[in-house]
Structure 1
Amino acid sequence: MDIGVLKVFRTVAEEGSISKAAHKLNYVQSNVTARMQQLEQELKTPLFYRHSRGITLTSAGQTLLEYTEKILNLLEEAEKAVVDTPIPKGSITVGSDTTSAVRLPVILSAYRGKFPEVEVHLEIGRNAQLINAVLQYSINGALVDGPVEHPEIVQELVINERLGLIIPEGMDFQGLTSIQDMTLMLLNEDCIYRHKLEEWLRDEGFRLAKVMQFGTMEGLLGCVKAGIGFSILPVSYFDKMNVKDGIRYYFFPERYGEVPVVFIRRHDLYMTSAFRKFIEELKAQLLGAISCGEEAHEAYGHS
């Protein structure tokens, strides 16, 4: 096997079609077909199931794909290690969940001001998607709700977020009794915010009524304003995004209200100077944000 064949194999596996892979690689289709047949002959095992809709990996093909990803990522890291310089250059890709992303503009602006030769790509997603992207080497690292326990991942605490109940502005809030029959609205039904609320409810003798999942934050907040239900957000999001019209928040009790935000990366990822400096800037910019929740508490509400 050579690197070129493995790159073609990965593209075929990703596209699920010989013709689509050939188009993406700008190769003649017969060339791609011949390479895949040659690879199967060399390994003496079928790598694909061929059907009318394209191709699907066999179990042997799936195994080879996993090793191919490791080989190609290792090759990329070797190239970066050789050309890496003390002055950050090149590109990095970082991810963030929707709520933590509100902190990134200041961080990215400061970083780009110091290291203009680095191109920063940003991916916004949910925790599970971002963790998987880090594990698959698709992104260098990600800012997510923690903790993240995985043997292949290194996590560093960057800040503790304070959670708040988000309710309609005109609602007469009398503690948990006010929300016990209301619908909890979240971007992701299985998230740490929900687990924190359920713990609080359970300790107070209540149960969560209903949960509704939304595709966008705009839709979620609009429904809170309309009195359809309530939600949970880090207070920093509520404050930084200036979404106070029509809604209010009340802090969770301290026992249930803190969520660690961590920056994760693979433990075996080669740390280029560009990526190291990004992590340093991330920590430096978030250092002063710890008091943000206390300031917001004075201005907007009490639990």
Structure 2
Amino acid sequence: MASEERGEVPDMDIGVLKVFRTVAEEGSISKAAHRLNYVQSNVTARIQQLEQELKTPLVYRHSRGITLTSAGQTLLEYTEKILNLLEEAEKAVQDTPVPKGSITIGSDTTAAVRLPAILSAYRGKFPEVEVHLEIGRNEQLIDAVLRYAVNGAFVDGPVGHPEIVQELVIHESLGLIIPEAMEFRGLISIQDMTLLSLNEDCIYSHRLKEWLRDEGFRLAKVMQFGTMEGLLGCVKAGIGFSILPISYFEKMNVKGGIRCYPFPGRYGEVPTVFIRRRDLYMTSAIQKFIDELKSQLLGAMP
């Protein structure tokens, strides 16, 4: 059968796919060229070559840069899988019983307070492994796991996604963080106050709203912050209140200015889960990290 009758498979090389992924991540031909240390015309030619081979537009070009077409979005998903599979193949043939190489772990701000002891113990046992830590918000970390950008991440759970495995579950207890000078008389004390939050749509806020609703109150307003330091500073100044896991509050060793009151019963129990992709190749380095979590983290948490 002639090739034109059965159709030809585009001869895409790995280099072109790496260029395409970089362009998609940067949202700009010029920025991708700078990151790759290529001339801009080279990057443009690679994208055009890919579009010609696939016989479809992959990007929209506009004054602010580029945006992926629907075909481009589809190709990006497969590109991530292809490049990750090649990386895993390399790891698989190089993997040894003694962990080596590097792993990248994601964590939200509150879970990160627990990690130094775990990372220290892990590095003490496996000094040839380089550990990278990425701090982000729940949705960012879940996306990073799905894109293979991190090997695993601590997030508020549970996470319902078919491509994600929840490797570890830890139960946190939430507390209201209020100014030390404030007299706390239950929810009526905060009904007109501003909730100070790092992420308005986090599970902590949802639990507070449930508690308020069941007691006949409503959340007044929310103010978002970029850093924990700024948030706590505003609580101390009496600008509003916040919500944190009690264990995190205790480990911060805050010296005056704020107090913590536990949430009652079911409103205050929040699971923190360690997630990874279901198809992640488990190198000895990442498997030993998970083993270390199970042996230390579970035993240390309430």
Under a length normalisation based on structure 2, what TM-score does the superposition of the two structures give? Answer: 0.91
Shift of 1:67: 1.2
**C-alpha contact 1:158 1:286 (8 A) present in aligned 2:** no
Matched, 1:22 2:33: yes
> In structure 2, what residue type is equivalent to 1:150?
H
Asked if the contact 1:157/1:260 (under 8 Å) is kept, the reply is no
What is the match of residue 241 of structure 1?
Answer: 252
1:169-227 CA distances to partner (integer Å, 9 max, x unpaired)? Answer: 12211111211221111111111111111111222222222221111111111111111
**Alignment partner, residue 150 of structure 1:** 161
What amino acid sits opposite 1:134 in the alignment?
V
- The one-letter amino acid of 1:224's match is V
Pick closer, same or farther for the CA change 1:157–1:54 going to 2, 3 Å: closer
Count of residue correspondences: 291
**Does the residue aligned with 2:241 lie in a helix, a strand or coil?**
strand
Quote the residue 2:3 is aligned against: none
Paired residue for 1:38? 49
Structure 1 vs Structure 2 CA RMSD: 1.6
Matches within 5 A, 1:3-82: 3-82=14-93
1:175 counterpart = 2:196: no
Pairwise CA distance, 1:123 = 0.5
**Deviation at residue 52 of structure 1 after TM alignment:** 4.3
What is residue 284 of structure 1 aligned with on the other side?
A: 295
1:228 and 1:57 map into 2 onto residues whose CA distance is 42
- The 1:170–1:79 alpha-carbon spacing in structure 2 relative to 1, beyond 3 Å, is same
1:221 aligns with 2:232: yes
Q: TM-score, normalised by structure 1?
A: 0.91
CA distance in 2, matches of 1:39, 1:91: 32
Counterpart residue number, 1:231: 242
Q: Is there any run of 5+ residues in structure 2 with no aligned partner, and where? A: 1-11
Segments of 5+ residues of structure 1 without an aligned counterpart are: 292-303
Instruction: State the match for 1:274 in structure 2.
Output: 285
Q: Secondary structure at the match of 2:189?
A: coil
CA distance in 1: counterparts of 2:28 and 2:243, whole angstroms = 43
Name the CA distance, whole Å, in 1 between partners of 2:224 and 2:26. Answer: 30
Contact 1:13 1:56 survives alignment (8 Å) = yes
> 2:9: which partner in 1?
none
How far has the Cα of 1:46 moved from its partner?
2.3
Task: Go from structure 1 to structure 2 and tell me whether the alpha carbon gap of 1:53 and 1:159 turns closer, same or farther (over 3 Å shift).
Answer: closer
1:96 to 70, 89, 107: 107
Q: Residue 111 in 1 paired to residue 133 in 2?
A: no
